[in-house]
Amino acid sequence: MKAIVSVIGLDKPGIVATVSTILAQHNVNITDISQSYAKEFFTMIMVVDFETSNSILKEVNEDLQKAGDEIGVFISIQHEDVFRIMHRI
């Protein structure tokens, strides 16, 4: 299963490290990553693969949201199919 991780917030050190550490703890592989900055604002989108993970999306989502609250950024994860349907034109 593939999923999309989105991160939005004010730029600060450790955002990428925090998100990637949580994904690694769940054995979720990052297959693609894109990040950008607009003044002090940070955005990042990751495509991740759950193939080698024993975790379910809900567990990873809970850990990512908790971490996002702690570092002051918004983090979400969506199943690839849900993301595609939501962004269909």
Q: Are 19 and 9 in contact (CB under 8 A)?
A: no
Report pLDDT digits (tens) over 21-80.
999 999 999 999 999 988 899 999 999 999 999 999 999 999 999 999 999 999 999 987
Cβ atoms of 63 and 81 closer than 8 Å: no
Which residue has tokens 């592989």?
A: 29
User: For residues 23 and 3, what is the distance between their CA atoms, to the nearest angstrom?
Assistant: 11
Given 3.30.70.100, 3.40.50.720, 3.30.1300.10, 3.30.70.260, which CATH number is that of 2-86? 3.30.70.260
Q: Kindly report the length of the chain.
A: 89
Q: What was the pLDDT predicted at 85?
A: 67
User: With a threshold of 0.75, does the pTM exceed it?
Assistant: yes
Domain segments of the chain as ranges = 2-86
Identify the pLDDT of residue 80: 73
